[in-house]
Amino acid sequence: MASLRDIRKHIASVKSIKQITYAMKMVAAARIKRAQNSILASRPFAVEMDRLIADLYCELGEDDLAGTPARELFCERPLGGTRCLVLVTADKGLCGSFNTNLLKAAAGWLKEHRGQKICAVAVGRKGRDFLKRLKGLDLEIVHEMVGIFPKVGYMHAQLLSEAVLKLYRERPVGKVTLIYNEFKSMMAQRIVSDQLLPLKAHILGCGTTGRAADFAFEPGKAELLNSLLPRHIAAQFYRTLLESQAAELAARMSAMESASKNATELIEGLTLKMNKTRQAMITTELNEIVSGSEALGG
């Protein structure tokens, strides 16, 4: 049986763990509000951007597009060769199954595309370490981005999109897939695996806006589209990063909350055990004293 001192030590350590988990929970709770706000704030830009691109695309004829870099981004490419994976994970652990699930999904994806050359772009320390550990795959980490959470800015998204676009231009990458956690609610995250490039034409729902205005364009339409598309991709990355950030914080919050709860329960049980031990010790001591005095005095 554990001695009184051992139990006391155990209680003290559980208590300090509880303090830490509780503090982490509070930090995550405070940050999540901000993260949610920045998701909301990024929406108008993305919506207007999509509308502008759709308008522009509808104004353009096929021949305007032919041979421009913008065309490249829409074209389907042969799928035989290289694939690209953009994996967005967290930098730190202690957020429940957030990273584990992501890495599982990524491993599944990698298994599916076994035998193909894979270019990986890792965002977040956990994902990078996971990809580095992998062996026996034709995998190359082209770009990595660590330490950006929880202060994601548009700049990060821009750097990321530049890296991916460069990769897409220079290598025969068939498809760029994006795997990340979507912020569904405070309690749940959902793993999303999305095709990023080539761009799907459905973002260009023609005629949705229904305005037949004769826009004047400065500079030309094709050039405009060329410079719009990278920004569209950056905006998409920005949204992804923000979603992942909010999801990470939510996951951490609930994980830390249950950790704190568990610690409380553990402390309760240990306290009970400690009291019982103490009681037992007192009883034994009393017993000894009484029996001792009886033996002496008779």
Partner 1 sequence: MEKKRLLLTIVTPEKTVLSDKPVDFVTIPAAGGEMGVLPGHAPQVAQLREGMMHYRDGHHKEVFAVLNGFAEIYRDKVLVLAEAAELAKEVSEERARQALQKAKDTLAMRGADLDLDEANAALRRAAVRLKVAEFRKKHKL
The binding site for partner 1 (CB under 8 A) comprises 38, 41-42, 44-46, 48-49, 52, 55-56, 145-148, 153-159, 211, 213-219, 223-224, 227-228, 231, 234-235, 238
172 or 217: CB nearest partner 1: 217
Residue 38 Cβ, how far from partner 1 at the closest point, in Å? 7
Q: Which tokens sit at 128?
A: 């990078």
Least gap, CB of 56 to partner 1 (angstroms): 7
66 versus 213: smaller Cβ distance to partner 1 = 213
CB of 185 to partner 1, least distance (A): 24
Nearer to partner 1, 162 or 257 (CB): 162
Residue closer to partner 1, measured from CB, 99 or 226: 226
**Buried b / exposed e along 155-194 (16+ C-beta atoms within 10 A):** ebbbbbbebbbebbeeeebbbbbbbbbbbeebeebeebbe
Strand order in the sheet with 189-197: 139-145, 118-123, 82-88, 173-183, 189-197
User: Minimal distance in Å, beta carbon 37 to partner 1?
Assistant: 9
To partner 1, the closest distance from the beta carbon of 251 in angstroms equals: 23
Distance CA 57, CA 256 (A): 47
Residue placing its CB nearer to partner 1 in the complex, 46 or 94: 46
Whole-number Å distance between alpha carbons of 280 and 35: 53
Query: Judged by CB, which is closer to partner 1: 158, or 277?
Result: 158
CB of 158 to partner 1, least distance (A): 7
* C-alpha triplet 113, 115, 121: angle, nearest 5°: 55
Whether cis (ω within 30° of 0) applies to the bond prior to 219 is: yes
Residues 235, 225: Cα–Cα separation, whole Å: 15
Task: Please give the Cα distance from 64 to 289 (Å, whole number).
Answer: 103
